[in-house]
Amino acid sequence: MQETSSPEIIYHWHDGIENFHGYQPGGYHPASICDAYSNGRYRIIHKLGFGSYSTVWLARDSHLERYVALKILVADSSKDSNEARILTHITHSSEKNNRTGKAFILPIFDDFQIDGPNGQHRCLTTEPAGCSLAKSKKNQPWKFRIQVARAIAAQAILGLRAIHGCNVVHGGKLRLSFCLPYADYLHDLHPNNILFALRDIHHMSVDDIYHHFSTPQRTEVQRLDGGPLSPGVPSHATFPALLYVKCLKVEDPRIRITDFGESWFGDAVPPKYLNTPMLYRPPEDVFAKGLLGFPSDIWTLACSVFEIMGDRSLFEGFCPSEADLVSEMVSCLGPLPPSWWDAWEGRSKFFVENGVWRTDVGLRSRPLRSRIQIMDRQEHPDFFADEAESLAVMLSTMLEYDPAKRASATDVVDSDWMTRWGLPSLKPFNISV
pLDDT digits (tens, 9 = 90+) for 267-288: 998 888 787 889 999 999 999 9
Range name among 141-145, 168-172, 175-179, 207-211 with the lowest pLDDT average: 175-179
**pLDDT of 81:** 87
Q: What percent of the chain has pLDDT over 90?
A: 70
46: three-class secondary structure by DSSP = strand
Tell me which DSSP letter residue 424 carries.
G
- Give the Cα separation of 183 and 51 in Å (integer): 5
pLDDT interval class at 175 (50, 70, 90): very low
Question: What pLDDT is stored for residue 62 in this prediction?
Answer: 97
> How many CA atoms does the CB half-sphere of 12 hold within 13 Å?
14
- pLDDT, one tens digit per residue, over 385-402 is 789 999 999 999 999 999
Nearest to 281 by CA among 189, 162, 371, 192: 189
pLDDT at residue 183 is higher than 70: no
Q: Count how many residues are written for the chain.
A: 433
| Residue 71 CB coordination number (10 Å) | 30
User: Of 293, 263, 297, whose CA–CA distance to 280 is shortest?
Assistant: 297
> What does the pLDDT read at residue 185?
35
Angle at 162 between CA 414 and CA 258, to 5 degrees: 125
| Other CB atoms within 10 Å distance of the CB of residue 242 | 13
pLDDT band at 186 (very low <50, low <70, confident <90, very high): very low
Mean pLDDT over 120-138 rounds to 92
Model confidence band, residue 200 (pLDDT cutoffs 50, 70, 90): confident
Query: Where does the pLDDT of residue 5 fall: very low under 50, low under 70, confident under 90, or very high at 90 and above?
Result: low
**Which pLDDT band holds residue 8 (cuts at 50, 70, 90)?**
confident
- The span from the CA of 210 to the CA of 17, in Å, is 19
pLDDT value at position 80?
Answer: 85
CA distance 160 to 408: 10
Q: Is the pLDDT of residue 97 over 60?
A: no
Average pLDDT over residues 330-341: 95
Share of the chain above pLDDT 70, in %: 91
pLDDT of 359 > 80? The answer is yes
Return all residues near 189 (Cβ < 8 A) that are at least 6 apart: 156, 160, 170, 172, 173, 174, 175, 257, 297, 300, 301, 304
Task: Indicate the average pLDDT of the chain.
Answer: 89
Mean pLDDT in residue range 190-201:
84
Q: How far apart, in whole angstroms, are the C-alpha atoms of residue 96 and residue 110?
A: 24
What's the mean pLDDT in 75-101?
84
pTM of the complete model beyond 0.85: yes
d(Cα 33, Cα 90) in Å, to the nearest integer? 31
In angstroms, the CA 305 to CA 301 distance is: 6
